[in-house]
Structure 1
């Protein structure tokens, strides 16, 4: 696991964007698992700014997670955030991307569908994630096995609370459907990005703790090519 500290969120976003563009130029058929949330939006906008028209013409995109019961058209869904900030501005063909159907009556089949796609692709070339205040990755909450592929999770109380920021009005959040940590471990490259002082304690814990399921972000210590990229504020508690 390598930790890299950037001056600010702008520099972090530019570096992450360029890394992703360089990867797809080296491997045009690359498979990317992408997160939603506040932190990556700046990266996605920078990719749109820097990428050439056909850079991602053969790439595959998979959404990291979704809130169960929240439609894809909701401003708080992973699909909405990634589509609006990256895929649509890049004119990516919808046939190139997949997100969990969080409205289905058969969540297990939905997990198996996304698993199958990732297995067919030989795993992701890159998984880009943020990190929750409780150390969650995607919607893999504390206590989640590192050996799980796609699965449905019961949301922690802090996730239900902080998740409200993505919605214009109060929204009941109970479960998530998410890429599992085993897919993360099997990805060619895994990058966690974090910005701001509110993530400083989380980043400190990732660095000092041994890998353990009670702090899912520590899974990065087991990854053969795992990167923690943070701005100075998020790194402020590191020695």
Structure 2
């Protein structure tokens, strides 16, 4: 696992560099897209680069998760959020972005179909991730199976409170259930790039990077991934015991290496 501690704007550029490198090497790259506040600066940077000529026309993308039961036109439905924040700002083809169907009549079948769609696409090349204050990635809440696949999950009180800001501050408006890629699904991606900023994420980042692998902090499974990158600002890194070492190793990194 590589840990990079830098200002938020630099973190966004680094993540966008990784995406651009893949697209230029293979225009049919498969991306994994996350919602929440952490990836927004990355999407802004990718949209800027698209204006400068970076094409997504032959790429495909898969979403991490989706609320259950939100109407198709609800602004906080994650398919609509992804459309607004990135898909409509670049030249992704119609239908190139897929997500789990939170309005399906048969939710288990929809989850199985989504897993199959990712497999049929050859898997995700680069998965963008954020992290919750309780250590969840996607909607894999504490206690999630480390071997889990796409499934329905009940959101914790903490997650619903954290997400209330997107629903006018009302926790009651936040759905209680979601469909989410499982931890094993996420771990199948070839490169994981997680971004976290702000002191509120400091304990989760500390557990992710330096704690034991545990279902109590689901993101810790990333320690077992062969190509995982954690991009954090000073505030999110404030609980890291080895913060100075991570800064040193990044400063001394060979220029050719990339993320």
TM-score tier (shorter): over 0.9
SS state of the match for residue 178, structure 2?
strand
Question: Aligned equivalents of 2:22 and 2:214: distance in 1?
Answer: 30
Measured after TM superposition, the shift of residue 93 of structure 1 is 1.7
Q: Deviations over 1:150-195 (max 9, x none)?
A: 1111111101111111123631421110111111111110111101
Equivalent residues of 1:150, 1:179 under 8 A apart: yes
Who wins on radius of gyration, i.e. which is larger?
2
Match of 1:30 in 2: 29
Q: Please state if 1:19 is matched with 2:18.
A: yes
Structure-2 separation of matches of 1:16 and 1:134: 23
TM-score, reference length from structure 2: 0.87
Q: Give SS of 1:182's match.
A: helix
Alpha-carbon distance in 2 for matches of 1:114, 1:29: 19
Q: Is contact 1:123–1:183 with CA below 8 Å preserved after alignment?
A: no
Aligned match of 2:49: 50
- Offset, 1:71: 2.9
Q: CA deviation at 1:72?
A: 4.2
Q: Please state if 1:213 is matched with 2:197.
A: no
Instruction: Report the alpha carbon displacement of residue 73 of structure 1 after superposing the two structures with TM.
Output: 2.8
In the alignment, which of 172, 175, 181 is matched to residue 173 of structure 1? 175
Q: For this pair of structures, how many residues does the alignment match?
A: 238
Q: Deviations over 1:81-102 (max 9, x none)?
A: 2211111011322221112221
Partner residue in 2 for 1:188: 190
1:1-239 matches, cutoff 5 A: 1-6=1-6, 8-51=7-50, 52-53=52-53, 55-168=55-168, 170=170, 171-239=173-241
Is the alpha carbon distance of 1:4 and 1:169 closer, same or farther for their aligned partners in structure 2, counting shifts above 3 Å? closer
Structure 1's unaligned 5+ residue stretches are: none
Q: State the shift of 1:54 in Å.
A: 5.8
| Deviations, residues 56-114 of structure 1 (Å, cap 9, x unaligned) | 11111111101111234323222222211111011322221112221222111211121
Instruction: Could you tell me which runs of 5 or more consecutive residues in structure 2 were left unpaired when the two chains were aligned.
Output: 242-259
- Looking at structure 2, the residues matched to 49 and 223 of structure 1 have their Cα atoms a distance apart, in angstroms, of 30
Q: What's the Cα RMSD here?
A: 1.4
Equivalent pair of 1:64/1:78 in contact (CA under 8 Å): no
Question: Cα offset for 1:53?
Answer: 4.4
Q: Distance in 2 between matches of 1:103 and 1:203?
A: 33
TM-score norm. by structure 1 comes to 0.94
Counterparts of 1:79 and 1:58, CA distance in 2: 19
